[in-house]
Copies of this chain bind each other. A is one copy, B any other.
């Protein structure tokens, strides 16, 4: 078993804490360790460190190496530029194929929140077992807890097997992020699951699917395969990446393949895509305030406060996000957390580089 942790995120939605040089997965906003450290530790009981690969951008690789000293440095695979998930996964699959073509690879985002680690590992073990049995593309589906419009959905089909006492299902269809009415209908129906962005398959299986469905990408990957381990490796990857089109594995492979299966995951997952989502997963005091740092408050509730250095005082406010960093202070309505992205775009337009 191998793990591929995709660590290509940018630092927009958790600004001002996340920055270009320090995207979300390199921050310690879930707990005492950074998110990528937690992600690696979560799978280490299942997959040894030597089999864990990280795919990341050149500007973050030093920090990734620093945060994960237990991984061999050659396990940090550097993408010269981000091209979405299909090239990232194809690249990692080529490295794994070199080691073991029939190796099962577990593809994981680097920045998700997963409180129940035991169930999580059991779910991956089930999916891996199924992946070994054939050329399947396995996904983890999360039972919706609300009419979420920020996630893609998968419609559960017929059960095809039972592994370790759990049913594995066909995927009848993939659905892109729905509007609220559609999301409510999915929730009522009960047969729709959030697409967690986690995938399990043999390296040979995903490469075969890429060959069929994304032949241009496959051609590039073959060039890379020939260069891995040679002194041309970095140059070839750079050349291929400059030329290939960005495409997600969901759109490029999963939605078009007939081999997709679904294992249900019930481990309290969230992708924590905004400060508001972080408020939801943090512990709260009796006023619903989630605090890192020191807070005093009068008539204030349901706010997230992140201020490692300064005392924060809230008076007569509710549903806010207040974040302090060395150079900036964000005050945001919780429900407007998605608009932090707009703010970062504004900083880019104004060329305020020191804050990016």
Contact = CB atoms under 8 A, between A and B. Distances in A.
A315 B333 contact: yes
A315 B296 contact: no
Number of copies of this chain that the complex holds: 2
**Contact size range, A:** 35 or more
| 4 residue pairs, one from A and one from B, having the closest CB atoms | A316-B336, A316-B333, A315-B332, A311-B328
A320 B321 CA distance: 13
10 contacts: A15-B313, A298-B339, A311-B329, A313-B332, A313-B343, A315-B337, A316-B333, A316-B339, A317-B332, A331-B331
B298 A317 contact: no
Given A336-B316, A339-B316, A340-B315, A296 B329 contact: no
A335 to B, nearest CB: 7
Point out which of A316, A342, A346, A347 has the most chain B C-beta atoms below 10 A from its C-beta.
A316
Contacts of A322: 329, 331
A298 B343 contact: yes
A41 interface: no
Interface in A290-311: 296-299, 307, 310-311
Interface of A: 15-16, 296-299, 307, 310-317, 320, 322, 324, 327-333, 335-337, 339-340, 342-343, 346-347, 350, 352, 355
Contacts of A16: 311, 313
B296 A343 contact: yes
Given A307-B329, A313-B332, A324-B329, 19 more contacts: A296-B343, A296-B350, A296-B352, A297-B343, A298-B336, A298-B343, A299-B339, A311-B327, A311-B352, A311-B355, A312-B328, A313-B329, A313-B330, A315-B339, A316-B332, A316-B339, A317-B331, A317-B336, A322-B331
Contacts of A299: 336, 339
